[in-house]
Chain A
Amino acid sequence: GAVVSQHPSWVICKSGTSVKIECRSLDFQATTMFWYRQFPKQSLMLMATSNEGSKATYEQGVEKDKFLINHASLTLSTLTVTSAHPEDSSFYICSARRTFGQPQHFGDGTRLSIL
């Protein structure tokens, strides 16, 4: 199969702190990973595309300095929400794929709650 693990699954933190979310492909090498955000009862919206060894490509309207993405290896990408505020509370989901055009496999998601 193609397993993608996301950690943590749920995090609660105070406003102003930074939170790091990890996305790992467990049984395959992912040259590209994707980060999505999902508001309650809404669809998934792509935030950024993360390519191994290069800078992430952000979608229009997504703040690069707010949502830092690092893809240092073929099996790990991280999303850091910097100086998080209550409006950043959401469900964040990553996906990964082997090579261009291959199906994306999703992680279990991370529920982020900022108090």
Chain B
Amino acid sequence: AQTVTQSQPEMSVQEAETVTLSCTYDTSESDYYLFWYKQPPSRQMILVIRQEAYKQQNATENRFSVNFQKAAKSFSLKISDSQLGDAAMYFCAYRSAASQGGSEKLVFGKGTKLTVNP
């Protein structure tokens, strides 16, 4: 079974600064997807960024980028120019690829609470 580990329960960053959230995972599959979701106090899960394992290029979405190290099974999220609205719980998640014939189940880490200080 796949597992996702987020070793930082809480992180804080100054507004306009950069912060990196860590995520490691364990799997025996070769093809899969990795996600970062944001959950603000409103509780809705919002997809921040997605990475396909077969793509070597790191995904980027505006101020959000990932450092995907497949061999190390590491998938960190970098938030640049942090804004007050970035404050939220951030969850790293894993999902098997369709090619693996597995479940579409999302396996989540325990989350990292990000505080942005003005």
Give A residues with C-beta under 8 Å from B.
Answer: 32, 34, 42-46, 49, 59, 91, 93, 95, 97, 100-101, 103-109, 111
Q: Complex formed: what's the CA distance from A100 to B105 in Å?
A: 11
- The B interface, classified by DSSP as helix, strand, loop or mixed, is loop
Partner of B47, one of A44, A49, A91, A103: A103
Partner of B45, one of A93, A97, A100: A93
Of the candidate stretches B57-65, B73-81, B108-116, the one touching chain A is B108-116
User: From residue 60 to 116 of chain B, which have CB atoms closer than 8 A to chain A?
Assistant: 91, 97-98, 103-106, 108-111
Contact (A109, B98) CB under 8 Å given A43-B108, A43-B111, A49-B103 = no
Q: Which residue of chain A lies nearest to B103 when distances are taken between CB atoms in the complex? A: A49
Contacts of B104 in A (CB 8 A): 32, 34, 49, 97, 100-101, 104
Give B residues with C-beta under 8 Å from A.
Answer: 35, 37, 42-47, 50, 91, 97-98, 103-106, 108-111
Contacts of A104 in B (CB 8 A): 104, 106
- Is the CB–CB distance between A43 and B110 below 8 Å? yes
Q: Which 4 A-B pairs have CB atoms at the shortest separation, nearest pair first? A: A106-B45, A101-B98, A43-B108, A109-B43
Smallest CB separation, B1 vs chain A (Å)? 10
Partner of B106, one of A42, A46, A111: A46
- The A interface, classified by DSSP as helix, strand, loop or mixed, is strand
- Is the CB–CB distance between A106 and B110 below 8 Å? no
Contact (A44, B110) CB under 8 Å given A49-B103, A100-B104, A101-B104 = no
Q: Complex formed: what's the CA distance from A32 to B95 in Å?
A: 15
Contacts of B108 in A (CB 8 A): 43-45
Q: Complex formed: what's the CA distance from A94 to B110 in Å?
A: 18
Which residue, B45, B50, B110, has most C-beta atoms of chain A within 10 A? B45
Contacts of A95 in B (CB 8 A): 45, 106
